[in-house]
Amino acid sequence: MSSEKNKAAFKVRSSYLSTIISISLVLFMLGLLGLILLNAQKISNHVKENIGFSLYLHEDISERQLQSLRTDLIAKTYTKHIDYTNKEQAAELLKKDLGEDFVDFLGYNPLSASLDLYLKADYAEQNIIEDITKELKKYPAVKEVIYQKDLVAEVNNNIRKIGLVLLAFSALLLVVVIALINNTIRLAIYSKRFLIKTMQLVGATGGFIRRPFVARGVLNGILSALIAILLLLGVLYTAKQNFPALVELQDFNIYLILFSIVIVLGILISWISTSLAVRKFLRMQSGDLH
């Protein structure tokens, strides 16, 4: 008799353990997609914020005019930051690219001082950039404004395509996640269908029968979410070790929100799926349980 009880207890623990592991893996996949989406947006913004203008300045610009221009441009809502390159620095950069001293060959430095203005991500759109270009050309100290028009169009097109693919994949994965968790919980409840019906036959109410199953389901959801979060932290640690540049793009407050969402999803889906599964067996006739 004791051996049979031990076997029954082992089966119950195995059922709970397999349910927790299954839900953990599914929540981990969902959280992993969330990490990809978060970093995809940050990488997208990072790429856009490296799109900028080269403002070539007139030769006779004074230091006062330069400072006034820089102050004015920094105050613009679309400006992320500005880099100034004088004639000598521009010559040194070009020497490195060419591999020879063109200033000695020509006898003078033909390059102009320039300001590189980088945009905030929200303003890196083709029509907005064209309006900004027209505005920048109105400054008397600015001789020429140059930006890579084809690069801007290509970056924005690729970002939109990637965003649509990720959005479609996210919606599909969410449906699959809910279906998998629901089926896993229903299989776990299925093994206790005779216990549910017995409790019902001796007069227990539906709410009384559901309560312990739902409580256990919520606990399983919390444990599964915590395991999924530990796995996600492992992914983040590995990414940090192998791709240190990603650390600069990370916002740990957003990751805390993502982990909270994983916990809430684990609880809600487990709660709803357990309630529906128990309700299904409560409505079944005794003869249909076999």
Residue with tokens 């981990």: 28
pLDDT of residue 230: 92
Q: Which tens digits make up the pLDDT trace of 248-276? A: 556 677 788 888 988 888 888 888 877 87
**Are residues 7 and 132 located together in one domain of the fold?**
no
**Are residues 134 and 197 located together in one domain of the fold?**
no
End position of a domain, from candidates 85, 113, 147: 147
**Are residues 180 and 142 located together in one domain of the fold?**
no
Q: What separation, in Å, do the N-terminal and C-terminal C-alpha atoms of the chain show?
A: 24
**Are residues 282 and 172 located together in one domain of the fold?**
yes
Range of the domain at 256: 2-46+155-289
pLDDT of residue 245: 59
**Are residues 11 and 89 located together in one domain of the fold?**
no
Could you say which residues of the chain have pLDDT below 70?
Answer: 1-16, 91, 94-95, 97-99, 101-111, 149-153, 155-156, 159, 177, 181-182, 184, 187-194, 196-197, 200, 204, 206-207, 243-251, 281-290
Q: Quote the number of domains for the chain.
A: 2
**Are residues 160 and 40 located together in one domain of the fold?**
yes
**Are residues 74 and 207 located together in one domain of the fold?**
no
End position of a domain, from candidates 147, 172, 187: 147
Domain containing 121 — which CATH number? 3.30.70.3040
Q: Can you give the chain as a three-state secondary structure string? A: CHHHHHHHHHHHHHHHHHHHHHHHHHHHHHHHHHHHHHHHHHHHHHHHCCCEEEEEECCCCCHHHHHHHHHHHHCCCCEEEEEEECHHHHHHHHHHHHCCCHHHHHCCCCCCCEEEEEECHHHCCHHHHHHHHHHHHCCCCEEEEECCHHHHHHHHHHHHHHHHHHHHHHHHHHHHHHHHHHHHHHHHHHCCHHHHHHHHHCCCCHHHHHHHHHHHHHHHHHHHHHHHHHHHHHHHHHHHHHCHHHHHHCCHHHHHHHHHHHHHHHHHHHHHHHHHHHHHHHHCCHHHHC
**Are residues 165 and 258 located together in one domain of the fold?**
yes
**Are residues 159 and 239 located together in one domain of the fold?**
yes
Q: Which tens digits make up the pLDDT trace of 209-220? A: 777 777 887 888
**Are residues 211 and 276 located together in one domain of the fold?**
yes
**Are residues 131 and 107 located together in one domain of the fold?**
yes
**Are residues 247 and 201 located together in one domain of the fold?**
yes
